[in-house]
C-alpha cells in the first residue's frame, strides 16, 4: 500500500480546521476535490477518518491516531529532504581522505579543523600512507581524495597544488656548524648523508640530488631509512646528517639539531588528488577551504 503525501497534507488541513471549506481554501483546492482526496485516503487505509454531517466534522478514533502522528512524520520528512539537499551540496555525508605523515605535521591539522567547523555533519575517514600508495587508493576509489607530496603517476586523477615548504638539514648537536642560524648546503659537501628510499618520494629524492649538484657536490649516501624519526636518531648517534622538512623539526631532541639551509635548498610540495570524475561533493567543499 502506498499513500501520497498530498493526501496526508489534505487530511491534516481538514483535521486542523474540522471544516472542509476552510481546509480547501488553505490548500487552494475546491471543496469537492478535497472531499475526493479524503475519500481516496480513507479507501487506502480501509477505515473512516472523519464523522461528518451537514453541521459538523469530527475525527474518528483512527483519524485521531493518524492526526497525532502526522506532526512528527512531516517534521521527519522535511528534515530528510533538507539533509538530502545538504548531502548533494557537500554539507553532509562521508569524506574518506588520505594523507602523508609530513602533511599531518604541517598544514593538515588546521585544514581539518576548518573543515569540521564549516561542515560539522560530514564524517571524516582518515588514512595515513605513503604518497604512491595513496595515489593507488584514490585511483581505485577506495579514497575520495588524498594529500600527497609525490606527484608521480597520477594518471586518471585530478591534481591541485596546495603548498610547499623548505627542506632543512639535521646535524649532530656537536657538529661545528650546529651553532650557525642558517648554513649552506655546500658546507656539507664532505658529510655522510642518511636519506629515505628513492621509491618513498622520487620527486623529493631527485630534488635533493639536483640541489646538491647545484651546490657543487654529489652526496655520499651511507644509509637509507623510510622512517624520518629513525633518521634523526641516527644523526644524533653521529652516523651522518639527514634532510628534514621544516614542519618535522620537532623530531630533533637530545643529540640532534635542525638547521635551515641558504638557497639553494630542496622543497617539499603538497598536492590534493581526486578522481577526474569525482562524485563526492564534500571534496569540492574541501577544495574551497584550501583555496582560501
pLDDT the model gives residue 151: 65
- Banded model confidence at residue 41, pLDDT cuts 50, 70, 90: confident
pLDDT the model gives residue 284: 84
pLDDT the model gives residue 152: 60
What is the per-residue pLDDT across 220-273, written as a single tens digit (0 to 9) for each? 999 999 889 999 999 999 999 999 998 889 999 889 999 999 988 998 889 999
Judge if pTM exceeds 0.75: no
Listed in order, strand segments (DSSP E) in the chain are 50-52, 57-59, 93-99, 122-128, 145-148, 157-172, 182-183, 192-195, 220-224, 241-245, 256-261, 267-275
pLDDT the model gives residue 219: 96
pLDDT the model gives residue 273: 93
pLDDT the model gives residue 176: 96
pLDDT the model gives residue 282: 83
Cis omega before residue 264 (within 30°)? Answer: yes
Residue 275 has pLDDT above 60, yes or no: yes
What is the per-residue pLDDT across 172-229, written as a single tens digit (0 to 9) for each? 999 999 999 999 999 999 999 999 998 888 888 999 999 999 999 999 999 999 889 9
pLDDT the model gives residue 105: 83
What is the per-residue pLDDT across 77-131, written as a single tens digit (0 to 9) for each? 666 666 566 555 555 578 899 998 888 888 899 889 988 888 888 888 999 988 8
Q: What residues does each domain of the chain span?
A: 5-88, 93-162+269-290, 165-268
Looking at 3.40.190.10, 3.40.47.10, 3.40.50.1980, 3.40.50.150, the CATH number of the domain 165-268 comes to 3.40.190.10
Q: Please state, as a whole number, how many other Cβ atoms lie within 10 Å of the Cβ of residue 4.
A: 12
Of 176, 168, 165, residue with least CA distance to 261: 168
Of 157, 245, 235, residue with least CA distance to 201: 245
pLDDT the model gives residue 84: 60
Instruction: Provide CATH code, domain 5-88.
Output: 1.10.10.10
Q: Report the chain's mean pLDDT, rounded to a whole number.
A: 87
- CATH class of this structure's domain 93-162+269-290: alpha beta
Amino acid at each position: 500500500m502506498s499513500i501520497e503525501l498530498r493526501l496526508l497534507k489534505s487530511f491534516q488541513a481538514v483535521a486542523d480546521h474540522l471544516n472542509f471549506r476552510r481546509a480547501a481554501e488553505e490548500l487552494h483546492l475546491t471543496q469537492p476535490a478535497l472531499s475526493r482526496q479524503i475519500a481516496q485516503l480513507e479507501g487506502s487505509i480501509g477505515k473512516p477518518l472523519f464523522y461528518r454531517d451537514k453541521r459538523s466534522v469530527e475525527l474518528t478514533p483512527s483519524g485521531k491516531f493518524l492526526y497525532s502522528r502526522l506532526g512528527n512524520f512531516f517534521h521527519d520528512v522535511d528534515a530528510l529532504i533538507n539533509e538530502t539537499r545538504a548531502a548533494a551540496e557537500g554539507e553532509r555525508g562521508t569524506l574518506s581522505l588520505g594523507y602523508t605523515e609530513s602533511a599531518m605535521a604541517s598544514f593538515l591539522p588546521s585544514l581539518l579543523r576548518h573543515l569540521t567547523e564549516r561542515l560539522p555533519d560530514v564524517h571524516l575517514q582518515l588514512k595515513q600512507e605513503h604518497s604512491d600508495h595513496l595515489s593507488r587508493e584514490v585511483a581505485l576509489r577506495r579514497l575520495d581524495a588524498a594529500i600527497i607530496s609525490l606527484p608521480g603517476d597520477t594518471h586518471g586523477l585530478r591534481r591541485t597544488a596546495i603548498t610547499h615548504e623548505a627542506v632543512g638539514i639535521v646535524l649532530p648537536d656537536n657538529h661545528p656548524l650546529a651553532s650557525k642560524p642558517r648554513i649552506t648546503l655546500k658546507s656539507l659537501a664532505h658529510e655522510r648523508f642518511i636519506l629515505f628510499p628513492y621509491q618513498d618520494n622520487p620527486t623529493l629524492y631527485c630534488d635533493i640530488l639536483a640541489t646538491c649538484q647545484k651546490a657543487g657536490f654529489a652526496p655520499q649516501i651511507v644509509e637509507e631509512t623510510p622512517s624520518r624519526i629513525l633518521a634523526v636518531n641516527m644523526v644524533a648517534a653521529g652516523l651522518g646528517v639527514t634532510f628534514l622538512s621544516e614542519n618535522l623539526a620537532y623530531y630533533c631532541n637530545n643529540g640532534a639539531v635542525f638547521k635551515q639551509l641558504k638557497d639553494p635548498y630542496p622543497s617539499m610540495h603538497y598536492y590534493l588528488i581526486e578522481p577526474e570524475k569525482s562524485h563526492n561533493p564534500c571534496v569540492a567543499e574541501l577544495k574551497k577551504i584550501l583555496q582560501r
